[in-house]
Structure 1
């Protein structure tokens, strides 16, 4: 079994590489009007669903179905996405 710290490191590297390659990690979750009205909420929704999809594809099931470490990992990745992707549109980050 891979340790939580190794898992975070591997996904962190994948996340950084994807950002460097300008890959779209976050799906568009809002309409244009919603994006204009609440850009921070839309960015966080994109992170939430994008990371959930990425980790589900990696694990082959929803994070947390086998262990709590999977769900903690997915939440940590979402938190990093919020900080990296949403800091410009969310003043509280």
Structure 2
């Protein structure tokens, strides 16, 4: 399994717009071929910072999504809301305890 973690930092006045947009697009992201999980987190100490966690069957599935017209529209909207450069990590899941 391939995991993508993205840190997003927004201007405070743009958080509502981000959350509203995420609500409208989350099901389509989740329905992307190869996507196994999509989660959104908000930092407890700095509410301007969010993280997305997405699980993918293969790295190629994420790349197909990132090269889609849908992603380009989503990213074009979202990047206007940032107060800092986003950061992303691609990791392999090694263990999960529940």
TM-score (norm 2): 0.32
Q: Which has the higher contact order (CA 8 A, sep 6+)?
A: 2
Higher helix share: 1
